[in-house]
Amino acid sequence: MGLDMTRAFNFSAGPAAIPTEVLERAQKELLNWNGYGCSVMELGHRTPDFQTILDKTEDDLRKLLNIPKNYKVLFMHGSASHQFAMVPMNFLAPGETANYLEMDHWSKMCIKEASRFGDMHIQQGIRTNSDGLLELVPENEWSLDEKGKYLHFTSNETIVGVQFQDDPQSFSGKLVSDMCSDILSRPIDIEKYALIYAGAQKNIGPSGMTVVIVREDLFESFQTERVPSLFQYPHVSSKGSMPNTPPSFGIYFAGLVFEWLLEQGGIEEMYQRNLKKAHMLYDYVDQSNFYHSPVAKGSRSFMNVAIQMKDRKHEERFLHEARENHLIALKGHKTFGGLRASIYNAMSIEGVETLIRFMDQFEQRLK
Amino acid sequence: MGLDMTRAFNFSAGPAAIPTEVLERAQKELLNWNGYGCSVMELGHRTPDFQTILDKTEDDLRKLLNIPKNYKVLFMHGSASHQFAMVPMNFLAPGETANYLEMDHWSKMCIKEASRFGDMHIQQGIRTNSDGLLELVPENEWSLDEKGKYLHFTSNETIVGVQFQDDPQSFSGKLVSDMCSDILSRPIDIEKYALIYAGAQKNIGPSGMTVVIVREDLFESFQTERVPSLFQYPHVSSKGSMPNTPPSFGIYFAGLVFEWLLEQGGIEEMYQRNLKKAHMLYDYVDQSNFYHSPVAKGSRSFMNVAIQMKDRKHEERFLHEARENHLIALKGHKTFGGLRASIYNAMSIEGVETLIRFMDQFEQRLK
């Protein structure tokens, strides 16, 4: 792309695209926030000014996701991988069991980490069907441990592009969900969940921060023995997400993204746009003899669209030419290969149209 | 300050001032890094481009601090408070003891957290002398447990402005130091230490990231039982600081600060400037009948200068008028009161001169 100054359409799975308007505002304020003479990242976190930023950020997230009052919202250091340990450390006393749905890469990483802190009852959540396509295992085929303290599932598997289409219904206990790659992309019925977490770097803001939404009445049952204070949800909550210096610039950035989402019309509007983008792309791929989707209908992610070329030898050239056309980060994850278009909230309909046009022209050039 | 667009002189203890040149560069690149069409915060951490940023950031830090090859440099999520747990979780097997020097607020917080993971042998490191001034307890009066696995100390107590003037000499075992508020301000003889950590938000970059420098041969002795993977130094090191999505924008920012430090002439040059700034301020305060230092000579911090007015009723007016004069964040910590000027690397000599001039004029106005 050389030194072209325009913004590319960025299909990165994460850290992912941030709305250009949000970056422009942050850019404008970077040396002098609100006439204060310094950047937000240079502002003490105990100042009333930063507290105002934090409060508004939380309020806007509550509005966007319609979070009930009996749920606490925490802005925590680190990424979802920290939560992989934190969830079992808080929920499980020694010898207790939890249910984990095993999907692909991320849920496997999560289970590996959680198994260090409790007993795992594992149910496969994904499989390859007779057509060689990935699909969700239907819920009526699941076998769960009803005595397990919770059921953990990854709502959207970023790498292979498989996504739950509905909340799980069959487990009578607590639901815990890693929603890293689809939070804020669709309405969520928060009350069905005990705890939801999401690393920031897909639909929220820069990496290094994780949002946790947790039902407050669970706090009294959480473990503390050999759990670092900053891993104890009740402790972090009691200090209003600031038991220590928080990732303040990340919180500010999340606040700008939340404002942008509200200006766009909120989550229902984003959901409609996201469905539209995904349908455009899957419809194009499905009618093609050149590209195909490795995921069965009914299991497909509307955030991460995995795409394969029927002849994989063209992949490198595709990625190179896409980049020359300002379409970046379309390479699939190293463990899965192929192409992948991550079309989170910040990806415009225009971006998806541009991608489809490029895919079509690329196919024509090879004929 | 209204909507004045100039940069204030920011004396915040942390998150603290960042060099204006660094912010200007980040601002310029915020929507389009290196002609790539996106921001660094939108760049996948597994791309060769981000790896280049990470490698150069580490290389520059190694140059600045002259870090020997047998030490690993880790860029970790979170703040120093995470290290308060991480250090004992890695170093101490059940029933083992470590020495902790108790200073003020931060070392007390550190000891409180560490005591959840091991036995603490505590030595007071700070006391009030017969003149009512804070001073370091001389090392020849310390009583340490020589069998303790390490001696932990906070090299500079940000809140009260007390700083070790030399590395401790009397403990024959491993030294571990929280250098949050004086890393990169002075030369360090790294080889005297087993582990050094520092949250970014004072002399490194935005909050949410912590730099750890650790001697590699210790890894084999570190504990793993019930230690979250992301708290295990050997694991984070084996993955090159990226076992998960790192705080990528924070790493990039740290890299810009490190480049700036090298351009300024490196750590020896910054040390001379820092000493000069501190001497200017302490000399002014010492000759004043209006202000005084609550810290004895020989124990004073050259990063955080605590200042008290002999008549404390003027504090609010001082802070208000200082702010009107573009001198911000001079309020002391709530637990200690008074005024505090944090004069980290990013504070210029001009900034300190301006502060002294203001202090003098303020005193004159009250006469």
pLDDT at A217 over 80: yes
Q: How far is B41 from chain A (nearest CA, A)?
A: 6
Q: What is the model's pLDDT at position A367? A: 81
**Least confidently predicted of A212-221, B63-72, B105-114, B340-349:** B105-114
Query: Stretch A233-260: mean pLDDT, rounded?
Result: 97
Q: What is the model's pLDDT at position B3? A: 40
Give chain B positions within 8 Å (CB) of A253. 41
Decide if A202 is catalytic. yes
Identify which of B46, B44, B52 has the alpha carbon closest to the alpha carbon of residue A10: B44
Give chain B positions within 8 Å (CB) of A14. 44, 245
Second-level CATH architecture of A266-366:
Alpha-Beta Complex (3.90)
| Interchain contact, B78 vs A79, CB within 8 Å | no
| Interchain contact, A81 vs B229, CB within 8 Å | yes
DSSP conformational letter for A295: B
Give chain A positions within 8 Å (CB) of B111. none
Query: Stretch B265-285: mean pLDDT, rounded?
Result: 98
- Report ipTM (2 d.p.): 0.96
Q: How far is B170 from chain A (nearest CA, A)?
A: 30
Calculate what percentage of chain A has a pLDDT beyond 90.
94
Query: Stretch A229-256: mean pLDDT, rounded?
Result: 97
Query: Stretch B201-222: mean pLDDT, rounded?
Result: 98
Q: What is the model's pLDDT at position A353? A: 98
Fold equal for B27-263 and B266-366: no
- Euclidean distance between CA atoms B15 and A195, whole angstroms: 30
The chain A residue lying nearest B323, using CA atoms, is A36
pLDDT at B255 over 50: yes
pLDDT at B52 over 80: yes
Active-site entry in A174, A178, A260, A277? A178
- Using CB atoms within 10 A of its CB, is residue A13 exposed (0-12), middle (13-18) or buried (19+)? buried
How many CB pairs (< 8 A) connect A and B?
222
The stretches of chain B forming alpha helices (DSSP H) are: 20-29, 48-65, 80-91, 105-114, 233-238, 248-264, 266-286, 315-324, 349-366
Decide if B360 is catalytic. no
- Euclidean distance between CA atoms A14 and B183, whole angstroms: 31
Domain coordinates of chain B in residue numbers?
A: 27-263, 266-366
Give chain B positions within 8 Å (CB) of A243. 81
Decide if A178 is catalytic. yes
Integer CA distances (angstroms), B51 to A227, B57, B77, in order = 32, 10, 17
Amino acid at A245: T
Q: What is the model's pLDDT at position B186? A: 97
Q: In which band, very low, low, confident or very high, does the pLDDT at B195 lie, cut at 50, 70 and 90?
A: very high
The residues that bridge with B97 in the sheet, in sequence order, are B119
Q: How far is B290 from chain A (nearest CA, A)?
A: 27
Which of A4, A5, A51, A77 has the most B C-beta neighbours within 10 Å, making it the best mutation to test the interface with B?
A: A77
B46 is in an annotated binding site: yes
DSSP conformational letter for A247: -
**Least confidently predicted of A48-52, A328-332, A336-340, B74-78:** A336-340
- Euclidean distance between CA atoms B307 and B355, whole angstroms: 12
Helix (H, G, I), strand (E, B) or coil at B216: helix
CATH topology of domain A27-263: Aspartate Aminotransferase; domain 2 (3.40.640)
B106 is in an annotated binding site: yes
| Interchain contact, A228 vs B79, CB within 8 Å | no
